[in-house]
Amino acid sequence: MDRHVNLLYVHNDNVGHFAWIKNLSRLLSSQISKKEHRKYFCDRCLHYFSSNEKLAAHTVDCQEMNDCAIKLPSDNDKWLAFKNHNRKERVPFVVYADLECTLEKMEADPETSRYTYQHHRVFSIGYYVRCSYDESLSMYRFRRDKDCVAWFAEELRRLAHDVKTILCTNIPMADFTRNEWEKFNSATHCHVCEEPFELDDVR
C-alpha cells in the first residue's frame, strides 16, 4: 500500500462525515492514560508502545500475523443457523475407552544427540459401551496385562460385528396409543428441525 490514511467517522443525528486523523496518538492517548507521555500506536491492531523503536519491531511481526482482510457476509447469507439436524439424534451405541501406561527409561544412543529416552508401555485398558435405548446392552470390560492392546483391538472387532447385527435386525414398530395418534395428527412443527409443516409434507 503506497499510502495509509486513518479516518474518523463522526455521526450527528442523521448527518455523518469522515475526518482525517492526522495524529493517531493524540486522539487515543488520552483515552488510555492521563499521563501526557506520547504513545505509539500500531495501525493494524491498535496496540501501543512507549517508543517508536518498539513500535517498529512490533510492526514486522504484526504485518505477518495480521495480514488478512475482513469479509462480511452478503444480505442473502447473513444469518447463521443450525443445519445438521441429524446430529441432534443420539447415536445408538457409544464406546468410551481409556488406557494406563508406565514410563520405561530407554538407553541413550551415543551416535546421536536426539533419542527416545522414555517409552509408554500400556499395561491396562478399559472400555464402556453405552446403549442409548436399551440399558441391558450397556457394559464395562477391562484387562490388565502385556497383551491388553491386542485384546482391546479384538474386542472392538467383535463389538462392531455385534452392533451391526443388532442395527440390521428389523423390529416391527409398536402400535400408537390414542394419545400418541392425537399428538401426531395435531403436530404443527417437525420435532427434529423445528420448522413448520407445509401442506404437502409427509410426516
Q: What is the pTM of this model?
A: 0.54
Residue 47's alpha-carbon distances to 35, 54, 59, 62, in angstroms, are 17, 11, 10, 10
pLDDT greater than 80 at residue 20 = yes
Residue 158's alpha-carbon distances to 152, 155, 164, 175, in angstroms, are 10, 5, 10, 34
pLDDT of 167 reads: 93
Over residues 54-111, the pLDDT tens digits come to 988 988 888 877 777 677 888 888 888 888 888 888 899 999 999 999 998 888 777 7
pLDDT of 1 reads: 52
**3-class DSSP state for residue 82?**
coil
Over residues 111-163, the pLDDT tens digits come to 776 777 788 899 999 999 999 999 999 999 999 999 999 999 999 999 999 99
* Residue 125 burial (10 A CB sphere; 0-12, 13-18, 19+): buried
CA proximity to 143, closest of 94, 97, 93: 97
Radius of gyration of the chain (CA): 32
- 187: its cell numbers: 403436530
pLDDT of 75 reads: 85
pLDDT of 2 reads: 65
- Largest distance between two CA atoms of the chain: 81
